[in-house]
Amino acid sequence: MKLRLSSPCKVNLVLNILGRRPDGFHELETVMLPVPLTDQLEFGVSDPGVRLTCSHPDLPVDSGNLVHRAATRFLEASGEPRGVVIHLEKRLPLAAGLGGGSANAAVTLRALNELFGYPLEAVRLREIAAGLGSDVPFFLQDGPALGTGRGEQVEELAPFAALHGRGIVLVHPGFGVSTPWAYQALAGFPDALGGRPGRAREAVEAFSGTDTATACRGLYNSLEAPVLEKHPLLKVFQEFFRERRALGTLMSGSGSTTFAITEDDAAAKATARAFTARFGAGVWVATAVL
Ligand code: C5P
């Protein structure tokens, strides 16, 4: 039996860092929004072991790949004697702040649980997911969510009324940003390192209402401080979106993907066309309906 699943991505509407923790991670509060732009994964039961193939030449297919690690942990935890063959069709940009790799890992856990007849309970899947990465537990569920702790404690939220039917444009300049670098660089930006608690809940309230423009004023990402200083091109992208009357614009996660919220799908597509005309076809541009 083969199982073919889409693996989505996310943007952070709020990524508010509250401080550095003794374990080296950062305490944060984040509002995460699933975005229906996807990679594809295919799973099949096989002889013992994990065999991964991938369409992207830059991605490892051994334990350096989160999909491989997720499958290995699943087989260990479930005591399943059989193995799995997995193919990853990578479409989303890498090191992009979109959680693409985290989603691949979460989809792998969900898929293997289904393929092998649900040997693991939800709470065990969440533990394994959190051990794989801070963003992985978010992708075990399907809605927007509030993340706390290092991002791994996930509270599922109802869909945001303020975003219903709105468009989103995402742009990736072709270079990635190292997540550990972005967090470490916060040390040089004390205001960004010690964010005011409460921004995430306030944003959830605002996005649960219907005034999109007001809600978008709450878009906030602490990691913009170091990343936009290092990569001013991302500021130029944001200025472009503001000139085009986007409802809001922000960098997602540790970047480099920057997004804009638009009135609707038509506005997102028009903005994307104008963006490519201005910055050239070398910049990855995608749109989706929220
Ligand atoms: O959890 P994840 O593997 O995504 O984290 C990658 C890196 O990002 C960590 O090793 C750490 O340097 C940084 N990080 C952090 N605080 C967080 C999440 C990530 O410092 N809450």
Which one is predicted more confidently, 281 or 203?
Answer: 203
Question: Based on the domain organization, do 80 and 149 belong to the same domain?
Answer: yes
pLDDT > 90 in the chain, percent = 99
* Residue of 28, 150, 177, 221 to mutate, ligand 1, most atoms within 8 A of C-beta: 150
Question: Based on the domain organization, do 148 and 189 belong to the same domain?
Answer: no
Distance of CA 240 to the CA centre of its chain: 23
C-alpha–C-alpha distance, residues 267 and 262, integer Å: 6
The pLDDT value given to residue 1:
81
Question: Based on the domain organization, do 143 and 219 belong to the same domain?
Answer: no
* pLDDT tens per residue across span 126-182: 999 999 999 999 999 999 999 999 999 999 999 999 999 999 999 999 999 999 999
The pLDDT value given to residue 188:
97
Average pLDDT over residues 251-260: 98
The pLDDT value given to residue 139:
98
Question: Based on the domain organization, do 267 and 232 belong to the same domain?
Answer: yes
Q: Determine the length of the chain.
A: 290
Give the pLDDT band of residue 76 (cuts 50, 70, 90): very high
The pLDDT value given to residue 13:
98
* pLDDT tens per residue across span 113-142: 999 999 999 999 999 999 999 999 999 999
C-alpha–C-alpha distance, residues 47 and 165, integer Å: 45
Question: Based on the domain organization, do 144 and 281 belong to the same domain?
Answer: no
What proportions of the chain, in percent to the nearest 5, are helix, strand and coil? 40, 30, 35
Question: Based on the domain organization, do 32 and 137 belong to the same domain?
Answer: yes
Q: The CATH number of the domain where 121 resides is what?
A: 3.30.230.10
Query: Which of 109, 140, 156 is at the close of a domain?
Result: 156
The pLDDT value given to residue 67:
98
Query: Which of 101, 133, 156 is at the close of a domain?
Result: 156
Annotated active-site residue 230? The verdict is no
* Residue of 15, 23, 134 to mutate, ligand 1, most atoms within 8 A of C-beta: 134
Q: The CATH number of the domain where 169 resides is what?
A: 3.30.70.890
Residue 49 has pLDDT above 90, yes or no: yes
Separation of CA 253 and ligand 1 centre (Å):
11
Which protein residue's CA is at the shortest distance from atom 20 of ligand 1?
25
Query: Which of 100, 127, 156 is at the close of a domain?
Result: 156
254 CA closest ligand 1 atom index? 8
Which protein residue's CA is at the shortest distance from atom 11 of ligand 1?
180
Residue 28 has pLDDT above 90, yes or no: yes
Question: Based on the domain organization, do 20 and 125 belong to the same domain?
Answer: yes
Listing from the earlier edge strand, what are the strands of the sheet with 258-262?
Answer: 248-251, 258-262, 167-172, 284-289
Annotated active-site residue 2? The verdict is no
The pLDDT value given to residue 16:
98
Ligand 1, pocket residues at CB < 6 Å: 25-26, 28, 133-135, 150-151, 179-180, 183
Assigned token pair, 10: 């996310």
Question: Based on the domain organization, do 123 and 138 belong to the same domain?
Answer: yes
Distance of CA 127 to the CA centre of its chain: 19
Question: Based on the domain organization, do 129 and 272 belong to the same domain?
Answer: no
Average pLDDT over residues 24-36: 97
E-assigned strands of the chain?
2-20, 26-46, 50-54, 83-89, 145-148, 153-156, 167-172, 220-221, 248-251, 258-262, 284-289
C-alpha–C-alpha distance, residues 209 and 217, integer Å: 13
User: Domain range for residue 107?
Assistant: 2-156
Q: What is the number of domains present in the chain?
A: 2
Alpha helices in 66-158 (DSSP H): 66-78, 100-115, 122-132
Cβ proximity of 223 and 192 under 8 Å:
yes
Question: Based on the domain organization, do 166 and 203 belong to the same domain?
Answer: yes
